[in-house]
Structure 1
Amino acid sequence: MSGFIEGSSREQGTLFPERLDDLVGPDSAVRVIDAFVCALDLHALGFVRTQPKATGRPGYHPGILLKLYLYGYLNHFRSSRVLERECHRNIELLWLLDRLAPDFKTISDFRRTNRMAIGQVCRSLVLFLRGEGLIAGQCVAIDGSKFQADTNPQKAWTKSQLEKWIAGLDRKISDYLAEMDAVDSAEANGKNDADSPSDGPGGTDGKKGDVRATLAKLRARKADLTQSVLLMEQMGQTQIILGDGDARIMRSGKGRIVGYNLQSAVDDGHGLIVHHEVTQSISDQNELHRVAKDAKDLLESAKLDVLADAGYGDAGQVAACDRDGITAFVPHPRSRNTHGDFFEKAEFDWDEAKQHYVCPAGNVLTFENASRKRQSANYNANPNDCAACGLKSRCTKADRRRVSRHMLEETLDQLAQRMADTPDAMIRRRSIVEHPFGIIKHMMGTPRFLCRSLPAVKAEMALSVTVFNLKRAICILGAENIIQRLSVAHP
């Protein structure tokens, strides 16, 4: 191959062999992982086997396996078997692990036995980045995303689905019973088998035998489904999922999935995830206060602004945020009159002292009833006042006007004014919180979990969020700068 650039011979020996350290660049992300793990107090974080035993075969230091997982999640391979294979051929891993190559069972057991500690690693990184000024802690954006569980979606059912199947089986059983009655009636009338339209090739006796066998199968299937529904009612469950029993049937942009709901709070300064939580909630409606409060406590901020979309628009959640020093910016749908020519609710004055509404004509709407489920109270005008009112044609077609008031109407009024004063809040929210989900799903390769059960899934997501924040910090500061800061913070 003369005339081309030629490499060194595989058989060529050297007096001074290359060091592994020479093959890893000074700005490589693997060096940041090494410095970060070395700076952690693994024993304080709760990792097991941080101290070697006096007897028995020595084990791997937990720091070695933690480095392996962080490197794998950063580079799009998460399976323990793939990690084992990479330990033998990946130069960066040979450098990172000092040429150690644990087997897949050891790698898998580490993640299983250190689930809580792995979550603390993610928290430690957030605190370090907060101390380095990369997290402002003044405003965060909150959003949720659905991640598929390690289970077959075809093996997940709701209680209503099972009840529909039972009803369908009842119809089939009734049809077969009617068919048997028709055969019996034909025999009683002395008709030939050929005269019966439902006869099979085996004649009447064969037909009865086939129907009885089918009926037995249908009844056995119905009994199984009925038993499943009874068990679900006793356990207070509305879903049954084979495989990962902690997963839930949820709606996502791609339709129905079986998975988990990841809630994340992203700082508006550099787009770093300051807090995350894997939940079983099928919607985001009741997650705002809990996620915002956890983020505020972690950041130790006196006040915190929170941006969230309309899926978090629950008045009770917003009121709870207000009580804890969290200012929420959330679009909340307000009820409007469907008739454009009628007076809107905002045109009715609320008398706080007397607890009633006053209509544009000056008539009073008094309290009638309240609904705890809808969290609202209804106020009605006097029919006689409406009948004599000259503005009735602009108010209602009914005999009197009705107005509903939310139990937290003052909170919703403040929220509406807040949103009106900051018209760009939702644009900011979208630019802050949307892209981390896309990056995490890209790093996961396929946006689904490899482990089953909620604790295992939380450990997986903690690894993904940790490497996302590391990757983001490297883009902001550079690898060498972060390594230097880690050495100063944890000499």
Structure 2
Amino acid sequence: MSRFVPADRDTAYLLSPSVDEWLPADHLARFVVEVIEQLDLSELTGQYAGRGSAVLLGLLIYGYANGMHSSRKIERATYDSVAFRYVAANTHPDHDTLATFRRRFLKEVESLFVQVLMLAREMKLLKLGHIALDGTKIQANASKHKALSWAHANKIEAQLRQEVQQLLALTESSDRSAIPDGMEVPAENIKRLHVLRAM
């Protein structure tokens, strides 16, 4: 006799599920959302009518921190990943919206991303997703003093800014390529599935 638990994908929830409940308390996505809520986004909200700018910024920063440079892949992740759904507040911004937002507010996105990285470094996080903050890419402070000098803090910020600029350049080249992300099922295969189910 088999002891496998039968899979039931058709039973509906009694209450609507909350994406918040599916994400661990110490997850990077929560950190990104909480930090962005504390940032001054007035330059974005003033020009973007305040609708969704924090969500779009959060998706870009969380995506880039996890090595996801393509706006198409970030859009797809809002459907496939619980963490991206959490950052997107269970919405699914279009890849064109993400790319246009990034291009329109490139300097602001760069500046805010550097602020997130600086805060992560101050909180002694070793990594922010795939971005190392432990001295692997950024020189560590080996000073005997606990406080950073102003010059050293500016040097660290300049290094982070340079890395963010390189990351954003890589993102732009990813968005300009016409290669599909490979996650979509061709329409003729979907029709075949419906025919098979009808049989």
User: Is the structural similarity TM-score above 0.5?
Assistant: yes
Match of 2:66 among 65, 75, 93: 75
Residue 122 and residue 95 in structure 1: after superposition, are their counterparts in 2 closer, same or farther (change >3 A)?
closer
What's the counterpart of residue 396 of structure 1? none
For residues 51 and 40 of structure 2, the distance between their equivalents in structure 1, rounded to whole angstroms, comes to 16
Q: Is the 8 A contact 1:64 1:97 kept in 2?
A: yes
Cα distance change of structure 1 residues 78 and 10 upon mapping to structure 2, 3 Å threshold: same
- For the 8 Å contact 2:19–2:90, the answer to whether it is kept is no
Q: Given the two structures, how large is their TM-score scaled by the length of structure 2?
A: 0.60
Match of 2:68, SS state, is: coil
The CA deviation at 1:112 is: 0.6
Cα 1:103–1:49, aligned 2, differ >3 Å: closer, same or farther?
Answer: farther
1:133–1:21 distance in 2 versus 1, CA, 3 Å: closer
Assess if the C-alpha contact under 8 Å between 2:75 and 2:95 holds in 1: yes
Aligned residue for 1:307? Answer: none
Q: Match of 2:107?
A: 116
Distance 1:33 1:14, change over 3 A: same
Out of 299, 304, 315, the residue aligned to residue 153 of structure 2 is: 299
- Partner of residue 25, structure 2: 26
Structure 2 counterparts to residues 319-334 of structure 1, below 5 A? none
TM-score, normalization: structure 1? 0.27
Give 1:222-371 correspondences, 5 Å limit.
Answer: 266-268=139-141, 296-297=150-151, 299=153
Decide whether aligned partners of structure 1 residues 64 and 129 sit closer, same or farther in structure 2, where only a CA change above 3 A counts.
closer
**CA-CA distance at 1:12 after TM superposition:** 1.4
Partner of 2:34: 35
Displacement of 1:18 in angstroms is 3.3
Deviation at 1:128, TM superposition (A): 3.4
Encode CA deviations 1:211-238: one digit per residue, 9 max, x unaligned: xxxxxxxxxxxxxxxxxxxxxxxxxxxx
Q: Which runs of 5+ in 1 are unaligned?
A: 53-58, 135-141, 144-263, 270-294, 305-432, 453-491
Q: Which residue of 1 aligns with 2:186?
A: none
**Aligned residue in 1 for 2:183:** none
| Runs of 4+ more than 4 Å apart | 48-51, 129-134, 295-298
| Structure 2 unaligned residues grouped into runs of 5+ | 126-134, 143-148, 174-199
Q: Tell me how far 1:49 sits from its aligned partner.
A: 4.2
Quote the offset at 1:88 in angstroms.
2.0
SS in structure 2 of the partner of residue 63 of structure 1: helix
Distance 1:131 1:26 in 2: 20
Give the letter aligned to residue 88 of structure 1: Y
Give the secondary structure class of the aligned counterpart of 1:10.
Answer: coil
**Conserved 8 A contact 1:130-1:299:** no
> Cα deviation per residue 1:96-145 (whole Å; 9 max; x = unaligned)?
211111111110011111111122214423553576578xxxxxxx99xx
For the residue of structure 1 that corresponds to 2:85, the secondary structure is: helix
Contact 2:69 2:170 in 1 (8 A): no
- Name the structure 2 match of 1:449: 170
What residue identity is the alignment partner of 2:44? F
Q: What secondary structure, in the 3-state scheme, does the structure 2 residue paired with 1:47 have?
A: helix
Compared CA separation, residues 110 and 450, structure 1 to 2 (3 A): same
Q: Rg larger in 1 or in 2? A: 1
Q: Give the distance between the partners of 2:89 and 2:123, measured in 1 at CA.
A: 30
Across the aligned residues of Structure 1 and Structure 2, the Cα RMSD in angstroms comes to 3.9
Report if the CA contact (8 A) 1:68-1:93 is conserved: yes
Corresponding position of 1:103: 94
Query: How far did residue 9 of structure 1 move?
Result: 1.0
Q: Which amino acid aligns with 1:38?
A: E
Q: Which residue in 1 is equivalent to 2:3?
A: 3
Report the counterpart of residue 44 of structure 2 in structure 1: 47
String of CA shifts for 1:251-275, please: whole Å, max 9, x gaps. Answer: xxxxxxxxxxxxx752335xxxxxx
For 2:82, the aligned partner's letter is: I
* Alpha-carbon distance, 1:298 to partner: 7.1
Identical-pair percentage: 21
Name the structure where strand makes up a greater proportion of residues: 1
Distance, in Å, in 2 between the alignment partners of 1:29 and 1:130 is 14
Structure 1 counterpart of 2:56: 65
Q: Larger helix proportion, structure 1 or 2?
A: 2
